[in-house]
Amino acid sequence: MPGIAALIVAAGQGLRAGGAVPKQFQPLLGVPVLRRSAMAFEMPEIGLLQIVTSADKQTETGSVLEGIAHLPFAIGGATRQESVRNGLEALAPHKPDFVLVHDAARPLVSAALIRRVTGALERGATAAIPLLAVADTLKRDDTDEWTTVPRDSLYRAQTPQGFRFEALLAAHREFANAPVTDDMALAELAGLPIARVAGEETNVKITTEEDFSHAARLLRGTMSEFRTGQGFDVHGFTTGDHVWLCGVRIPHTATLEGHSDADAGLHALTDAILGALGAGDIGQHFPPTDEKWRGAASHLFLAHAARLVSEAGGTIANCDVTIICERPKIGPHRDAMRARIAEILGVETSRVNVKATTTEGLGFTGRREGLAAQAIATVRLPPP
């Protein structure tokens, strides 16, 4: 694979974002912005990482990047253009085939976007730039006279901007005194052909304090974690004419014995959800020694577990319940059970599964002395 270098520009002051230090050193959900940007390029395709920082921030930059492999720092200049050129000159002895120039202030760049840029270069492009079409109506104020600007051919340029290394270095050397705002503008001056790749709305650039809040919201969405819990319950049969299973009343020659309505399916599922939350078990929340819960409908327990998920900012991704018994037959009631569980949890029925099995006549379930249920639940939670 051709050699690909990433050049991250982190020499600016970033004062508009507020804070006592430049924005690239400020934390975004606990991790400095620059570190998040550098981590995005820890990919097999990227062979070299060149960071451009200011002369007085080298120690801080090194601390932020601890554990991330990178070349010795290049020192930034008075402008972004000069900083990029200094970074390119530092990379020149390594002779990479391609270089990706990225702003440290874009910490949410995705691997997919990076690969779109590198893919275009590997297919022969001299320059590859991520662009997003302008969707908003644009207005220009010409001395208090408003003019609508046609947006049909307008795009927002993002980074990383990818180039054949020698072509970009030559352009920087030739047009060192031509003020430009990004490397795409420099490529235009040099007459380099530019390939367009799709940008991403989530690849935001942090400029102001509000941008930090926006980036944090986006990051929380991508960082949500999945947790899985399991539950198991057993109840014996006693005299009666029905059982409650997964919230459905099923006629039977016996009933299930328990402190509540003995719905083993909902009990197992409640424990599974509590387990995913790290919130103990059903007995801690509804003690069997508490007469208040004698004969209680088990949907109250499951609804309580679902409410805890919601209060934690989470959602229930899916749940799967297995009933283990010889009788009653579960198949005829499966759809009603799925629908009832989905109703209690407030989720789509497609996220709920109910199935049954026997023990081939073995054990207490095989002897029809009772039944058992096991369940697994997965919840999606925001980062701690």
Tell me the mean pLDDT in the region 317-339: 97
pLDDT at 70 over 70: yes
Indicate whether 122 pLDDT > 70. Answer: yes
Residues 204 and 232 in one domain: no
The alpha-carbon radius of gyration of the chain (Å, integer) is 30
CATH code, domain with 36? 3.90.550.10
Confidence of residue 15 (pLDDT cuts 50, 70, 90): low
172 and 153 fall within a common domain: yes
User: For 230-257, what is each residue's pLDDT tens digit?
Assistant: 999 999 999 999 999 999 999 999 999 9
223, 252, 278 - which closes a domain? 223
Domain of residue 259 covers 225-381
- Chain mean pLDDT for the chain: 93
The pLDDT score that the predictor gives to residue 100 is: 98
Q: Are residues 215 and 256 in the same domain?
A: no
Same domain, 214 and 200: yes
List, in order, residues 6 or more apart from 331 with CB less than 8 Å away.
Answer: 356
Looking at residue 312, what is its pLDDT? 86
Collapsed DSSP state (helix, strand, coil) of residue 170: helix
* End-of-domain residue from the set 223, 242, 270: 223
pTM confidence score:
0.64
Instruction: Say whether both 237 and 187 belong to one domain.
Output: no
What is the average per-residue pLDDT within 329-336? Answer: 96
Identify the CATH number of the domain in which residue 246 sits. 3.30.1330.50
pLDDT of amino acid 113: 96
Rounded mean pLDDT of 185-191? Answer: 94
Q: Report pLDDT digits (tens) over 20-53.
A: 688 899 998 889 999 999 999 999 999 999 999 9
Handedness of CA 188, 191, 197, 203 (dihedral sign): negative
Name the domain boundary from 223, 245, 275: 223
Q: In this structure, are 285 and 244 located in the same domain?
A: yes
Task: Judge whether 151 and 140 are in contact, CB under 8 Å.
Answer: no
289 and 193 inside one domain? no
Number of domains observed in the structure of the chain: 2
Q: Where are the alpha helices (DSSP H) in the chain?
A: 33-40, 58-64, 80-91, 111-122, 165-174, 183-189, 209-223, 264-277, 282-285, 299-311, 334-345, 363-366
Instruction: Evaluate if residue 14 carries a pLDDT over 80.
Output: no
pLDDT tier, 2 (very low <50, low <70, confident <90, very high otherwise) = low
Give residue 1's pLDDT.
Answer: 39
CA atoms within a 13 Å half-sphere pointing along the CA-CB vector of 11? 25
Q: Closest Cα partner for 352 from 316, 306, 302, 327?
A: 316
Task: Tell me: do 44 and 101 sit in the same domain.
Answer: yes
What is the arithmetic mean of pLDDT over 278-307? 94
Tens of pLDDT, residues 172-183: 999 998 989 899
* pLDDT computed for residue 72 by the predictor: 97
d(CA 380, CA 206): 27
Has residue 16 got a pLDDT over 70? no
Q: How far is Cα 380 from Cα 351, in angstroms, rounded to an integer?
A: 13
16 or 43, which is more confident: 43
Specify the range with the lowest mean pLDDT, choosing from 137-146, 281-290, 336-345. 137-146
Give the model's pLDDT for residue 127: 97
Kindly state whether residues 251 and 325 are assigned to the same domain. Answer: yes
Residue 371 vs residues 210, 227, 230, 248, 263: alpha-carbon distances, Å:
56, 28, 17, 15, 10
Q: Which two tokens stand for residue 180?
A: 């430009």
Q: What share of the chain is helix, strand, coil (3-state, %, to 5)?
A: 35, 30, 35
Q: Does 155 share its domain with 46? A: yes
Q: Considering only residues 297 and 222, tell me which one the structure prediction assigns the higher pLDDT.
A: 297
Phi-psi region of 29 (alpha: psi -120 to 50; beta: other; left: phi over 0): left
What pLDDT is recorded for position 216? 86
Average pLDDT of the segment spanning 58-70: 95
202 and 251 together in one domain? no
- For residues 208 and 230, membership in a common domain is answered with no
